Amino acid sequence: MILEHNVPLQPYNTFGIAARAEALVRVRSESDIHAVLKDVQLLKLPRQVLGGGSNIVLTGDVKGLVLKMEVAGLHLAGETDKAWIVEAGAGERWHDLVAWSLAHGYPGLENMALIPGTVGASPVQNIGAYGVELQDRFHELDAMDLFTGEVFTLNAAQCGFGYRDSVFKHASHGPEDLGLAGRAVILRVRLALPKKWKPELGYLDLERKMTETGIANPDARTIFDWVCQIRSAKLPDPAVIGNAGSFFKNPTVTPEQCADIIAREPKVVHYPMPDGSVKLAAGWLIDACGWKGKTVGHAGVYDKQALVLVNRGTAEHPCTGGEVMTLARAIQTSVYERFGIRLEPEPVVI
Ligand code: EPU
Protein backbone atom coordinates (compact mmCIF):
# COMPACT_ATOMS: atom_id res chain seq x y z
CA MET A 1 0.00 0.00 0.00
CA ILE A 2 1.33 3.45 -0.92
CA LEU A 3 0.10 6.04 1.62
CA GLU A 4 0.78 9.76 1.12
CA HIS A 5 -0.14 12.75 3.30
CA ASN A 6 -1.21 16.33 2.48
CA VAL A 7 -1.41 15.54 -1.24
CA PRO A 8 -2.21 18.31 -3.80
CA LEU A 9 -5.34 17.33 -5.73
CA GLN A 10 -5.04 19.96 -8.48
CA PRO A 11 -3.55 17.46 -10.99
CA TYR A 12 -6.29 14.94 -10.12
CA ASN A 13 -9.40 17.01 -10.91
CA THR A 14 -10.12 18.22 -14.45
CA PHE A 15 -11.50 21.54 -13.14
CA GLY A 16 -7.93 22.18 -11.95
CA ILE A 17 -9.09 23.42 -8.54
CA ALA A 18 -6.36 23.65 -5.89
CA ALA A 19 -7.18 21.54 -2.81
CA ARG A 20 -5.37 18.95 -0.73
CA ALA A 21 -6.16 15.50 0.58
CA GLU A 22 -5.28 14.79 4.21
CA ALA A 23 -4.25 11.26 3.17
CA LEU A 24 -4.23 9.43 -0.17
CA VAL A 25 -3.81 5.76 -1.07
CA ARG A 26 -3.27 4.63 -4.66
CA VAL A 27 -5.42 1.56 -5.22
CA ARG A 28 -3.79 -0.71 -7.82
CA SER A 29 -5.48 -3.93 -6.66
CA GLU A 30 -7.87 -5.34 -4.06
CA SER A 31 -4.98 -5.86 -1.66
CA ASP A 32 -4.46 -2.07 -1.32
CA ILE A 33 -8.00 -1.68 0.06
CA HIS A 34 -7.55 -4.74 2.28
CA ALA A 35 -4.43 -3.05 3.71
CA VAL A 36 -6.47 0.11 4.45
CA LEU A 37 -9.15 -1.98 6.18
CA LYS A 38 -6.49 -3.55 8.43
CA ASP A 39 -4.93 -0.20 9.40
CA VAL A 40 -6.50 1.09 12.65
CA GLN A 41 -5.41 4.70 12.02
CA LEU A 42 -6.76 4.82 8.45
CA LEU A 43 -9.98 3.08 9.48
CA LYS A 44 -10.91 6.07 11.66
CA LEU A 45 -10.80 8.47 8.69
CA PRO A 46 -13.75 9.35 6.43
CA ARG A 47 -13.20 8.07 2.87
CA GLN A 48 -13.63 9.52 -0.62
CA VAL A 49 -13.14 7.60 -3.86
CA LEU A 50 -11.42 9.45 -6.70
CA GLY A 51 -11.41 8.27 -10.32
CA GLY A 52 -10.33 10.58 -13.13
CA GLY A 53 -11.67 13.57 -11.18
CA SER A 54 -13.58 14.72 -14.25
CA ASN A 55 -16.98 15.00 -12.61
CA ILE A 56 -16.23 16.65 -9.27
CA VAL A 57 -16.06 20.14 -7.80
CA LEU A 58 -13.70 20.42 -4.82
CA THR A 59 -14.97 23.16 -2.49
CA GLY A 60 -12.14 22.77 0.03
CA ASP A 61 -9.45 20.42 1.29
CA VAL A 62 -10.59 16.82 1.58
CA LYS A 63 -10.54 15.68 5.18
CA GLY A 64 -9.77 12.02 5.61
CA LEU A 65 -8.59 9.42 3.15
CA VAL A 66 -8.82 9.62 -0.64
CA LEU A 67 -8.74 6.26 -2.43
CA LYS A 68 -7.32 7.06 -5.84
CA MET A 69 -8.38 4.27 -8.18
CA GLU A 70 -5.50 3.08 -10.37
CA VAL A 71 -6.53 -0.55 -11.12
CA ALA A 72 -5.12 -1.25 -14.62
CA GLY A 73 -5.89 -3.75 -17.39
CA LEU A 74 -7.71 -4.02 -20.71
CA HIS A 75 -8.53 -7.45 -22.15
CA LEU A 76 -11.09 -9.64 -23.84
CA ALA A 77 -12.68 -11.53 -20.93
CA GLY A 78 -14.96 -13.83 -22.94
CA GLU A 79 -17.81 -13.97 -25.40
CA THR A 80 -21.47 -14.89 -25.64
CA ASP A 81 -23.47 -15.82 -28.79
CA LYS A 82 -24.18 -12.16 -29.37
CA ALA A 83 -21.35 -10.18 -27.81
CA TRP A 84 -17.65 -9.80 -27.04
CA ILE A 85 -17.07 -9.26 -23.33
CA VAL A 86 -14.32 -6.70 -22.81
CA GLU A 87 -13.00 -6.06 -19.30
CA ALA A 88 -11.24 -2.92 -18.10
CA GLY A 89 -9.67 -1.93 -14.77
CA ALA A 90 -11.32 0.98 -12.96
CA GLY A 91 -8.20 3.12 -13.30
CA GLU A 92 -7.96 2.91 -17.11
CA ARG A 93 -8.91 6.07 -18.99
CA TRP A 94 -12.35 5.67 -20.55
CA HIS A 95 -11.19 6.99 -23.93
CA ASP A 96 -8.28 4.49 -23.97
CA LEU A 97 -10.83 1.67 -23.56
CA VAL A 98 -12.89 3.06 -26.47
CA ALA A 99 -9.79 3.28 -28.71
CA TRP A 100 -8.42 -0.13 -27.59
CA SER A 101 -11.69 -1.99 -28.20
CA LEU A 102 -12.08 -0.41 -31.64
CA ALA A 103 -8.47 -1.24 -32.60
CA HIS A 104 -8.94 -4.88 -31.47
CA GLY A 105 -12.08 -5.38 -33.56
CA TYR A 106 -14.76 -4.87 -30.88
CA PRO A 107 -16.64 -1.74 -31.94
CA GLY A 108 -19.67 -0.35 -30.11
CA LEU A 109 -18.24 2.37 -27.87
CA GLU A 110 -17.32 4.85 -30.64
CA ASN A 111 -20.22 7.26 -29.89
CA MET A 112 -18.73 7.68 -26.40
CA ALA A 113 -15.20 8.58 -27.62
CA LEU A 114 -13.33 11.38 -25.79
CA ILE A 115 -15.53 11.37 -22.68
CA PRO A 116 -13.08 12.38 -19.95
CA GLY A 117 -12.61 10.28 -16.83
CA THR A 118 -11.83 6.71 -15.88
CA VAL A 119 -13.55 3.39 -16.56
CA GLY A 120 -14.44 3.04 -12.86
CA ALA A 121 -16.34 6.32 -12.92
CA SER A 122 -18.30 5.47 -16.07
CA PRO A 123 -21.09 3.44 -14.38
CA VAL A 124 -21.42 5.92 -11.47
CA GLN A 125 -23.16 8.49 -13.62
CA ASN A 126 -24.04 6.16 -16.52
CA ILE A 127 -22.02 8.28 -18.97
CA GLY A 128 -23.44 8.85 -22.41
CA ALA A 129 -23.08 10.81 -25.63
CA TYR A 130 -24.46 10.94 -29.16
CA GLY A 131 -27.28 8.49 -28.60
CA VAL A 132 -25.44 5.77 -26.63
CA GLU A 133 -25.23 5.41 -22.86
CA LEU A 134 -22.98 3.13 -20.83
CA GLN A 135 -26.01 1.01 -19.83
CA ASP A 136 -26.54 0.10 -23.54
CA ARG A 137 -23.16 -1.69 -23.58
CA PHE A 138 -22.89 -2.74 -19.94
CA HIS A 139 -22.41 -6.40 -18.92
CA GLU A 140 -21.38 -6.38 -15.25
CA LEU A 141 -18.91 -4.92 -12.80
CA ASP A 142 -16.85 -6.05 -9.81
CA ALA A 143 -16.94 -3.83 -6.76
CA MET A 144 -15.58 -4.01 -3.25
CA ASP A 145 -17.49 -3.37 -0.05
CA LEU A 146 -15.49 -0.67 1.73
CA PHE A 147 -16.49 -1.95 5.17
CA THR A 148 -16.04 -5.71 4.83
CA GLY A 149 -13.51 -5.91 1.97
CA GLU A 150 -15.76 -8.41 0.19
CA VAL A 151 -15.74 -8.34 -3.65
CA PHE A 152 -19.11 -8.69 -5.38
CA THR A 153 -20.47 -8.56 -8.94
CA LEU A 154 -23.41 -6.44 -10.11
CA ASN A 155 -25.42 -6.73 -13.34
CA ALA A 156 -27.11 -3.79 -15.07
CA ALA A 157 -30.39 -4.10 -13.15
CA GLN A 158 -28.52 -4.13 -9.84
CA CYS A 159 -26.67 -0.94 -10.83
CA GLY A 160 -30.02 0.90 -11.11
CA PHE A 161 -28.96 2.96 -14.12
CA GLY A 162 -30.89 6.14 -14.96
CA TYR A 163 -30.09 9.35 -16.81
CA ARG A 164 -26.61 10.24 -15.42
CA ASP A 165 -27.51 8.15 -12.40
CA SER A 166 -26.89 4.78 -10.66
CA VAL A 167 -26.87 3.21 -7.17
CA PHE A 168 -23.31 4.52 -6.81
CA LYS A 169 -24.62 8.11 -6.66
CA HIS A 170 -27.02 7.42 -3.79
CA ALA A 171 -26.19 7.04 -0.12
CA SER A 172 -27.69 4.12 1.76
CA HIS A 173 -30.45 4.99 4.23
CA GLY A 174 -31.00 1.53 5.71
CA PRO A 175 -30.60 -2.20 5.10
CA GLU A 176 -33.32 -2.30 2.40
CA ASP A 177 -31.76 0.62 0.55
CA LEU A 178 -29.48 -0.25 -2.36
CA GLY A 179 -27.55 3.04 -2.34
CA LEU A 180 -23.82 2.31 -2.59
CA ALA A 181 -22.26 5.80 -2.41
CA GLY A 182 -19.52 5.71 0.21
CA ARG A 183 -20.10 1.98 0.74
CA ALA A 184 -18.53 0.35 -2.31
CA VAL A 185 -15.86 1.05 -4.88
CA ILE A 186 -15.82 -0.17 -8.49
CA LEU A 187 -12.75 -2.28 -9.36
CA ARG A 188 -13.42 -3.59 -12.89
CA VAL A 189 -16.12 -3.10 -15.53
CA ARG A 190 -17.15 -5.63 -18.23
CA LEU A 191 -18.86 -4.42 -21.37
CA ALA A 192 -20.83 -6.48 -23.90
CA LEU A 193 -19.95 -5.27 -27.40
CA PRO A 194 -22.37 -6.66 -30.00
CA LYS A 195 -20.87 -9.03 -32.61
CA LYS A 196 -23.46 -7.72 -35.09
CA TRP A 197 -22.38 -4.08 -34.97
CA LYS A 198 -24.88 -1.41 -36.05
CA PRO A 199 -24.11 2.30 -36.32
CA GLU A 200 -26.02 4.64 -33.98
CA LEU A 201 -26.61 7.77 -36.02
CA GLY A 202 -29.88 9.17 -34.71
CA TYR A 203 -28.28 12.28 -33.27
CA LEU A 204 -28.42 15.65 -34.99
CA ASP A 205 -24.66 16.35 -34.89
CA LEU A 206 -23.92 12.96 -36.52
CA GLU A 207 -26.62 13.43 -39.15
CA ARG A 208 -24.93 16.72 -40.04
CA LYS A 209 -21.59 14.92 -40.48
CA MET A 210 -23.25 12.42 -42.84
CA THR A 211 -24.61 15.25 -44.98
CA GLU A 212 -21.33 17.20 -44.93
CA THR A 213 -19.17 14.22 -45.92
CA GLY A 214 -21.67 12.40 -48.14
CA ILE A 215 -20.90 9.16 -46.21
CA ALA A 216 -24.25 7.42 -45.69
CA ASN A 217 -22.91 4.18 -44.17
CA PRO A 218 -20.02 5.14 -41.88
CA ASP A 219 -18.02 2.39 -40.20
CA ALA A 220 -17.18 2.47 -36.48
CA ARG A 221 -13.80 4.15 -37.09
CA THR A 222 -15.47 6.96 -39.06
CA ILE A 223 -18.03 7.51 -36.29
CA PHE A 224 -15.18 7.54 -33.74
CA ASP A 225 -13.40 10.24 -35.77
CA TRP A 226 -16.61 12.27 -36.20
CA VAL A 227 -17.41 12.16 -32.46
CA CYS A 228 -13.83 13.25 -31.65
CA GLN A 229 -14.18 16.16 -34.09
CA ILE A 230 -17.62 17.22 -32.78
CA ARG A 231 -16.54 17.06 -29.14
CA SER A 232 -13.25 18.91 -29.70
CA ALA A 233 -15.06 21.71 -31.52
CA LYS A 234 -17.69 22.14 -28.81
CA LEU A 235 -16.23 21.06 -25.48
CA PRO A 236 -13.12 22.52 -23.84
CA ASP A 237 -10.11 20.22 -23.43
CA PRO A 238 -9.53 19.99 -19.64
CA ALA A 239 -5.76 19.97 -20.29
CA VAL A 240 -6.14 23.50 -21.71
CA ILE A 241 -9.07 24.95 -19.76
CA GLY A 242 -10.32 23.31 -16.57
CA ASN A 243 -13.91 22.02 -16.60
CA ALA A 244 -16.11 19.08 -15.55
CA GLY A 245 -18.10 18.54 -18.75
CA SER A 246 -21.80 19.35 -18.66
CA PHE A 247 -22.39 21.14 -15.37
CA PHE A 248 -26.16 20.62 -15.24
CA LYS A 249 -28.42 17.72 -16.20
CA ASN A 250 -30.92 18.32 -18.98
CA PRO A 251 -34.18 18.86 -17.02
CA THR A 252 -37.34 16.87 -17.65
CA VAL A 253 -40.75 18.56 -17.67
CA THR A 254 -44.35 17.50 -18.33
CA PRO A 255 -45.79 18.11 -21.85
CA GLU A 256 -48.03 20.83 -20.28
CA GLN A 257 -45.04 22.65 -18.75
CA CYS A 258 -43.23 22.36 -22.10
CA ALA A 259 -46.23 23.76 -24.02
CA ASP A 260 -46.30 26.67 -21.58
CA ILE A 261 -42.59 27.41 -22.18
CA ILE A 262 -42.95 27.06 -25.98
CA ALA A 263 -45.79 29.61 -25.88
CA ARG A 264 -43.36 32.10 -24.35
CA GLU A 265 -40.11 30.88 -25.97
CA PRO A 266 -40.95 29.20 -29.28
CA LYS A 267 -37.30 28.27 -29.98
CA VAL A 268 -36.68 26.22 -26.81
CA VAL A 269 -34.76 23.01 -27.74
CA HIS A 270 -36.80 20.04 -26.47
CA TYR A 271 -36.88 16.28 -26.97
CA PRO A 272 -40.02 14.16 -26.30
CA MET A 273 -39.07 11.11 -24.20
CA PRO A 274 -40.47 7.57 -24.56
CA ASP A 275 -42.25 7.87 -21.17
CA GLY A 276 -44.27 10.90 -22.34
CA SER A 277 -42.16 13.51 -20.53
CA VAL A 278 -40.11 16.13 -22.38
CA LYS A 279 -36.38 16.78 -21.92
CA LEU A 280 -35.17 20.36 -22.36
CA ALA A 281 -31.64 21.34 -23.44
CA ALA A 282 -30.17 22.96 -20.31
CA GLY A 283 -27.46 24.56 -22.48
CA TRP A 284 -30.15 26.36 -24.48
CA LEU A 285 -31.93 27.62 -21.32
CA ILE A 286 -28.65 28.97 -19.87
CA ASP A 287 -27.67 30.51 -23.21
CA ALA A 288 -31.11 32.16 -23.47
CA CYS A 289 -30.49 33.80 -20.08
CA GLY A 290 -27.37 35.42 -21.57
CA TRP A 291 -24.73 33.47 -19.63
CA LYS A 292 -22.57 32.20 -22.49
CA GLY A 293 -18.99 33.54 -22.17
CA LYS A 294 -19.66 35.30 -18.83
CA THR A 295 -17.17 35.27 -15.94
CA VAL A 296 -17.90 35.66 -12.22
CA GLY A 297 -14.81 35.76 -10.02
CA HIS A 298 -12.50 33.17 -11.58
CA ALA A 299 -15.25 30.83 -12.78
CA GLY A 300 -16.88 31.20 -16.17
CA VAL A 301 -19.38 29.88 -18.70
CA TYR A 302 -17.67 28.37 -21.75
CA ASP A 303 -18.14 30.55 -24.82
CA LYS A 304 -19.01 27.69 -27.20
CA GLN A 305 -21.35 25.69 -24.94
CA ALA A 306 -23.27 27.33 -22.10
CA LEU A 307 -23.74 23.99 -20.29
CA VAL A 308 -20.03 23.83 -19.42
CA LEU A 309 -18.58 25.87 -16.56
CA VAL A 310 -14.86 26.56 -16.82
CA ASN A 311 -11.88 27.56 -14.69
CA ARG A 312 -10.75 31.09 -15.58
CA GLY A 313 -8.26 31.33 -12.73
CA THR A 314 -4.54 32.03 -13.01
CA ALA A 315 -1.51 30.80 -11.08
CA GLU A 316 -1.70 33.90 -8.81
CA HIS A 317 -5.51 33.89 -8.54
CA PRO A 318 -6.70 30.30 -8.79
CA CYS A 319 -10.36 29.50 -9.25
CA THR A 320 -11.94 27.99 -6.12
CA GLY A 321 -14.74 25.46 -5.89
CA GLY A 322 -16.71 28.10 -3.96
CA GLU A 323 -16.53 30.44 -6.98
CA VAL A 324 -17.74 27.66 -9.28
CA MET A 325 -20.71 26.98 -6.98
CA THR A 326 -21.52 30.71 -6.66
CA LEU A 327 -21.67 30.94 -10.46
CA ALA A 328 -23.73 27.73 -10.63
CA ARG A 329 -26.26 29.13 -8.14
CA ALA A 330 -26.53 32.43 -10.04
CA ILE A 331 -27.28 30.47 -13.23
CA GLN A 332 -29.86 28.30 -11.41
CA THR A 333 -31.59 31.44 -10.09
CA SER A 334 -31.81 33.15 -13.47
CA VAL A 335 -33.06 30.01 -15.25
CA TYR A 336 -35.65 29.54 -12.50
CA GLU A 337 -36.80 33.16 -12.68
CA ARG A 338 -37.17 33.09 -16.45
CA PHE A 339 -38.44 29.53 -17.08
CA GLY A 340 -39.63 28.23 -13.69
CA ILE A 341 -37.21 25.29 -14.03
CA ARG A 342 -34.75 24.13 -11.40
CA LEU A 343 -31.46 22.97 -12.93
CA GLU A 344 -29.71 20.18 -11.08
CA PRO A 345 -25.89 20.12 -11.03
CA GLU A 346 -24.37 17.05 -12.62
CA PRO A 347 -20.91 16.78 -10.96
CA VAL A 348 -20.44 15.58 -7.41
CA VAL A 349 -19.69 18.52 -5.09
CA ILE A 350 -17.12 17.56 -2.43
N1 EPU B 1 -27.52 24.80 -27.05
C2 EPU B 1 -27.63 26.17 -27.15
N3 EPU B 1 -26.69 26.95 -26.54
C4 EPU B 1 -25.65 26.42 -25.85
C5 EPU B 1 -25.55 25.01 -25.74
C6 EPU B 1 -26.49 24.23 -26.36
O7 EPU B 1 -28.55 26.69 -27.78
O8 EPU B 1 -24.84 27.17 -25.34
C9 EPU B 1 -28.47 23.95 -27.74
C10 EPU B 1 -27.78 23.26 -28.90
O11 EPU B 1 -27.86 24.02 -30.08
C12 EPU B 1 -28.54 21.98 -29.04
C13 EPU B 1 -29.03 21.70 -27.62
O14 EPU B 1 -28.88 22.91 -26.88
O15 EPU B 1 -29.65 22.12 -29.87
C16 EPU B 1 -28.30 20.54 -26.95
O17 EPU B 1 -26.91 20.77 -26.91
P18 EPU B 1 -25.84 19.63 -27.28
O19 EPU B 1 -26.23 18.96 -28.52
O20 EPU B 1 -24.49 20.27 -27.19
O21 EPU B 1 -26.00 18.50 -26.15
P22 EPU B 1 -26.24 18.66 -24.59
O23 EPU B 1 -27.65 18.29 -24.28
O24 EPU B 1 -25.76 19.97 -24.17
C25 EPU B 1 -25.61 16.23 -23.83
C26 EPU B 1 -24.83 15.64 -22.70
C27 EPU B 1 -23.35 15.61 -23.05
C28 EPU B 1 -23.16 14.80 -24.30
C29 EPU B 1 -23.99 15.46 -25.43
C30 EPU B 1 -23.94 14.66 -26.71
C31 EPU B 1 -26.03 16.11 -20.66
C32 EPU B 1 -26.15 16.97 -19.45
N33 EPU B 1 -25.05 16.43 -21.51
O34 EPU B 1 -25.23 17.59 -23.96
O35 EPU B 1 -22.66 14.96 -21.98
O36 EPU B 1 -21.81 14.75 -24.67
O37 EPU B 1 -25.37 15.54 -25.03
O38 EPU B 1 -24.67 13.49 -26.58
O39 EPU B 1 -26.80 15.15 -20.80
C40 EPU B 1 -21.56 15.31 -19.90
O41 EPU B 1 -22.43 14.65 -19.37
O42 EPU B 1 -20.58 15.82 -19.23
C43 EPU B 1 -21.62 15.59 -21.33
C44 EPU B 1 -20.75 16.37 -21.95
pLDDT at residue 182, as a whole number: 83
Q: Is the dihedral of CA 94, 97, 102, 108 positive or negative?
A: negative
Q: Are residues 248 and 308 in the same domain?
A: yes
Asked if residue 246 has its Cβ within 6 Å of ligand 1, the reply is yes
Q: State phi, psi for 297 to the nearest 5 degrees.
A: 65, -125
* pLDDT tens digits along 212-244: 999 999 999 999 999 999 999 999 999 999 999
Q: Are residues 116 and 208 in the same domain?
A: no
pLDDT at residue 121, as a whole number: 95
Last-in-domain residue among 194, 226, 254: 194
Q: What is the dihedral of CA 302, 305, 309, 311, to 10 degrees?
A: -30
Taking CA atoms only, the protein residue closest to ligand 1 atom 3 is 284
Q: Are residues 111 and 139 in the same domain?
A: yes
How many alpha carbons lie under 13 Å from residue 64 in its C-beta half-sphere?
13
Q: Tell me if 199 is assigned to some domain.
A: no
* pLDDT tens digits along 62-120: 999 999 999 999 999 999 999 999 999 999 999 999 999 999 999 999 999 999 999 99
Q: Which residues are catalytic?
A: 164, 246, 346
Q: State phi, psi for 225 to the nearest 5 degrees.
A: -65, -40
Q: Are residues 343 and 259 in the same domain?
A: yes
CATH classification of the domain holding 252: 3.90.78.10
319 contact partners, CB below 8 Å, separation of at least 6: 15, 16, 17, 242, 297, 298, 299, 311, 312, 313
**How far is the centre of ligand 1, averaged over its atoms, from the C-alpha of 145 (Å)?**
35
* pLDDT tens digits along 265-303: 999 999 999 899 999 999 999 999 999 999 999 999 999
- Residue 176 clears pLDDT 90, i.e. is over it: no
| C-beta separation of 268 from 262 below 8 A | yes
pLDDT at residue 171, as a whole number: 83
Full residue range of the structural domain in which residue 318 is found: 243-349
Q: What is the number of structural domains in the chain?
A: 4
Asked if residue 111 has its Cβ within 6 Å of ligand 1, the reply is no
Entry pTM? 0.93
* pLDDT tens digits along 23-62: 999 999 999 999 999 999 999 999 999 999 999 999 999 9
pLDDT band per the 50, 70, 90 thresholds, residue 177: low
How many beta carbons lie within 10 A of that of residue 290, not counting itself? Answer: 12
pLDDT at residue 45, as a whole number: 93
State which ligand 1 atom lies nearest to the alpha carbon of 235.
44
Length of the chain, please?
A: 350
* pLDDT tens digits along 108-148: 999 999 999 999 999 999 999 999 999 999 999 999 999 99
pLDDT at residue 172, as a whole number: 76
**How far is the centre of ligand 1, averaged over its atoms, from the C-alpha of 13 (Å)?**
22
Average pLDDT, the chain: 95
Q: State phi, psi for 141 to the nearest 5 degrees.
A: -140, 155
